[in-house]
């Protein structure tokens, strides 16, 4: 599985990055009004696997360790669901199932497009419909919902902005990290720790 880093390891400016993203989301949420229907119990964004980088993985592992201190039973349930997910996904995983790292080839990326799209995130509490590691959630989770620009254009959650015009959608575009702080933090983290490559949530938390 993924290489571990010392428990007291910190990421300079990571808190600053989270604050920047969360402030941007709060402003877009205000602008979006009733067009943005995200709420506790809505699990649209918790279905299907997605790649997470090493900063995301580090935050999740740190968050799980904190949960183990505060609520060991809930933490054990997260780890058990992660292990069950890994066991199910490993045979067709488009990467190295021993490390959980996704292969970075055109073929592997194409396979990932159709991989485990119905898999429920192991961090989702099936009883409450909420995230057990919400404060440590990956960047993809933090920005899901509002209009967000990708290589394919401006995308938005299919449950949100259903009655909005194209102009209203564009006016609420989320720009979470305008100065690309995450890129520099990730590069520094990978250089310092030797942890490189994307993974998925289940592999990150299974051990």
207 pLDDT tier (thresholds 50, 70, 90): confident
C-alpha–C-alpha distance, residues 86 and 114, integer Å: 17
Give the mean model confidence (pLDDT) for residues 142-169.
92
The 10s digit of each residue's pLDDT in 126-145 is 999 999 999 999 999 999 99
Q: At 6, is the pLDDT very low, low, confident or very high (cuts 50, 70, 90)?
A: low
Percent of the chain with pLDDT over 70: 96
Check: CB of residue 45 under 8 Å from CB of residue 145.
Answer: yes
pLDDT digits (tens, 9 = 90+) for 14-40: 999 999 999 999 999 999 999 999 988
HEC per residue, the chain: CCCCCCCCCCCCCHHHHHHHHHHHHHHHHHHHHHHCCCCCCCCHHHECCCCECHHHHHHHHHHHHHHHHHCHHHHHHHHHHHHHHHHHHHHHCCEECCCCEECCCHHHHHHHHCCCCCCECCCECCCCCCECCHHHCCHHHHHCCCCEEECCEEECCCCCCCCCCHHHHHHCCECCCCCCHHHHHHHHHHHHHCCCCCECHHHHHCC
**What pLDDT, on a 0 to 100 scale, did the predictor assign at position 150?**
87
Q: 95 φ, ψ to 5°?
A: -170, -155
150 φ, ψ (degrees, to nearest 5): -130, -175
- Residue 91 tokens, joined: 């045979």
Backbone angles phi, psi at 35, to 5 degrees: -70, -25
Q: What is the pLDDT of residue 63?
A: 96
The whole-number average pLDDT for the span 104-123 is: 96
Q: State the pLDDT at residue 182.
A: 97
CB 136 within 8 A of CB 60: yes
pLDDT for position 2: 60
Token pair for 129:
């419909």
Residue ranges covered by each domain of the chain: 14-22+40-205
């Amino acid at each position: 599985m993924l290489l571990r880093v010392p428990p007291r390891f910190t990421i300079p400016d990571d808190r600053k990055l989270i604050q920047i993203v969360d402030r941007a989301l709060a402003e877009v949420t205000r602008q979006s009004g009733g067009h943005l229907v995200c709420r506790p119990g809505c699990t649209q964004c918790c279905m299907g696997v997605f790649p997470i980088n090493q900063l995301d993985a580090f935050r999740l592992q740190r968050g799980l360790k904190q949960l183990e201190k505060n609520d060991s039973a809930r933490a054990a349930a997260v780890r058990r669901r992660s292990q069950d997910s890994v066991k199910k996904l490993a045979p067709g995983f488009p990467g190295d199932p021993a490390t959980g790292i996704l292969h970075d080839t055109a073929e592997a990326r194409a396979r990932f497009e159709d991989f485990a799209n119905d898999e429920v995130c192991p961090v989702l509490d099936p009883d409450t419909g909420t995230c057990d590691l919400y404060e440590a959630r990956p960047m993809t989770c933090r920005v899901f919902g509002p209009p967000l620009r990708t290589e394919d254009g401006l995308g938005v959650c299919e449950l949100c902005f259903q009655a909005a015009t194209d102009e209203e959608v564009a006016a609420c575009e989320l720009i979470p990290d305008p100065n690309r702080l995450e890129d520099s933090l990730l590069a520094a983290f990978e250089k310092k720790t030797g942890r490189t490559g994307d993974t998925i949530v289940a592999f990150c938390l299974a051990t």
